[in-house]
Amino acid sequence: MIDLALIGLTRFLVGGQAHWRGAEPKDGQRIYFANHSSHLDTLLIWAALPSRLRARTHPVAAADYWDRDRLRRYIAKDVLCAVLIDRSARENGRDPLEPLREALGAGGSLIIFPEGTRSDAELPGPFKSGLYHLAAQFPAVELIPVYLKNPARAFPKGALLPVPIACSVHFGGPVRISSGEDKSQFLDRARQSVVELAI
């Protein structure tokens, strides 16, 4: 019930209309990757998905923020069924992508933000390498670019509540690693696929 209330509140306050351009909301395992500018981002994508897809789609979130207290932990894990990652894992000799691999291995889909952190810029910054490694290890999983319009204006950093500014969610066509394409080339092309949805 709480998940439906959050979705309803998100749609009431900021809209979040879905635009499918080059992809359809069909069954199948996917990684949705998007620009990241607001705490609204996850809810916008999640609410834009049909309920049958939402049920198996796990947002990826930073454990250092969402595991900080009981309320955030409840929203992330029990309401959104998020996969929490430890951004300091590599410093401790662990692989931060392991929880994502486990979720994909179990047949789930993911929502990720390859920039790694929020940005006030209208267009996404450089992508970190995680998307490439997941794409290489799970080639059957579709990679769907997503551009989120206006969430930073609707819910800027430091705000306690969103303001009623219309947001929209633009889904693009699938992206795959091309033959002979290296990590840097793929990440640049994946980022560009998100940028093109902003036009």
When the pLDDT of each residue in the chain is averaged and rounded to a whole number, the result is 91
Pairing of strands 167-171, 142-149: antiparallel
- What percentage of the chain has pLDDT greater than the value 90? 60
Answer whether residue 52 shows pLDDT above 90: yes
Query: CA 142, CA 109: separation in Å to the nearest integer?
Result: 9
Per-residue DSSP letter, 79: I
What's the CATH number of domain 2-197, 3.40.1130.10, 3.40.50.300, 3.40.718.10, 3.40.50.10860? 3.40.1130.10
Answer whether residue 187 shows pLDDT above 80: yes
Q: Where in the chain are the domains? A: 2-197
Residue type present at position 168: S
pLDDT of residue 21: 94
Answer whether residue 164 shows pLDDT above 90: no
pLDDT of residue 169: 97
Answer whether residue 155 shows pLDDT above 90: no
- What percentage of the chain has pLDDT greater than the value 70? 99
Question: Collapsing DSSP states into helix, strand and coil, what is residue 193?
Answer: helix
Q: How many CB atoms lie within 10 A of CB 83?
A: 22
pTM for the predicted model, two decimal places: 0.93
- pLDDT greater at residue 191 or residue 66: 191
- pLDDT greater at residue 130 or residue 159: 130
- pLDDT greater at residue 189 or residue 11: 189
Residue type present at position 14: V
CA-based nearest residue to 126, from 59, 174, 192:
192
Question: Collapsing DSSP states into helix, strand and coil, what is residue 182?
Answer: coil
CA-based nearest residue to 32, from 123, 134, 168:
134
When pLDDT is averaged across residues 111-131 and rounded to a whole number, the result is 92
